[in-house]
Amino acid sequence: MSLTKKFKKIPAVLVAFLVFDALALGAFGSYYLAQRSFAKKMAQIESQNPENLVKDATAKVLPAVGYTTSLSWGEIGPKLIASGVIDWEQYKDYFDGLDIFSGPTNEKIAINEQNSRALVNTLWALGLVNKSKVLDEGPMKTSGTDPGNFASTGGWTLGKKEAMALYSSESLIPLTEKQQDLVQMIAANVYRPCCGNSVAFPDCNHGMAALGYIELAVYSGLSEEQIYKDLLVFNSFWFPQTYVEMAVYFQKQQNLDWDKVDAKTALSYDYSSAAGAANISKQVQNVPGLQSQGGSCGA
């Protein structure tokens, strides 16, 4: 039997039903897609409401549960005390509820609103004392200023020795030459809003703390991408206003959610240096709910 004859046997009423059914399904599909598009647009409009925008940005930049890295403290605590960079009798009032100094530990390095000050101090001590090409060959030594006169050196008073006696003095993290170069490269890409310098010139406490973390992360084999992500979170808790403003800026100006922002870009001079952060702040200063203020090394 030919194909034409087969089609002739299909009743006309069935053909009409099939055509109607196809049209109905097409209409329903179009309606469903239109509803989804409408809902998405409404969500976007609601998210652009200034109050919602700032609230959402704050929740993403400063998660209430804090942030935990993949790195453990290991033997770092006892080594810091043994090196003399930390005098436990002085320091114990600063370290909030974490026991990393009595012996090796598997406790992960984490940050939240309660321990951000303790973390910056501990990593500051690590960055200051660990043997480092950044400290020995970088701007800390070549800028023309006495290395002992920077905030990250002269400001360290919690050790058993003078800061410059501790400076780049102990291989607590035994980095290879290749790893030292990688530390230097990453450090040159990371800024903080209290200064105009990168971590390759760690002249303040936050810069020295970031250097300490980079060294530990590189030694532990963490990827560059993950190191930038971790440092962005650290900076966010150390300078919360700056990074909430930055998150609002990316959402408003680039329609980019904070968790989609490239961490290396956010940490660059254009965004995270004192000048870059000030520029971002100006562009969002009229957004209700933001109370702009400059970065400070006093955290």
> Is residue 216 pLDDT above 60, yes or no?
yes
Estimate to the nearest angstrom the gap between the alpha carbon of 34 and the chain centroid.
Answer: 38
Cα distance between residue 102 and residue 74, in whole Å: 11
Helix 12-47 / helix 50-61 crossing angle, nearest 10 deg: 80
Q: Give residue limits of the domains in the chain.
A: 66-176+203-221
Tokens of 187: 């450090």
Tokens of 170: 């102990």
pTM (2 d.p.): 0.81
- Residue 260 gets which letter from DSSP? G
What percent of the chain is predicted at pLDDT more than 90?
73
Higher pLDDT, 142 or 17: 142
Positive or negative, the CA dihedral 194, 57, 237, 105 is: negative
Mean pLDDT computed over 63-74: 97
Tokens of 264: 């290396």
Please say whether the beta carbons of 51 and 289 come within 8 A: yes
Summarize pLDDT for 264-296 with one digit per residue, the tens: 999 999 999 999 999 999 999 888 878 654 445
Tokens of 209: 């703390």
pLDDT at 49: 62
Please say whether the beta carbons of 219 and 174 come within 8 A: yes
pLDDT at 25: 46
35 contacts: CB under 8 Å, gap ≥ 6: none
pLDDT at 11: 53
pLDDT at 123: 97
Mean pLDDT computed over 101-119: 94
Positive or negative, the CA dihedral 264, 268, 272, 278 is: negative
Mean pLDDT computed over 208-237: 98
Tokens of 106: 């598997």
Summarize pLDDT for 18-51 with one digit per residue, the tens: 444 544 444 444 444 444 543 454 445 444 566 6
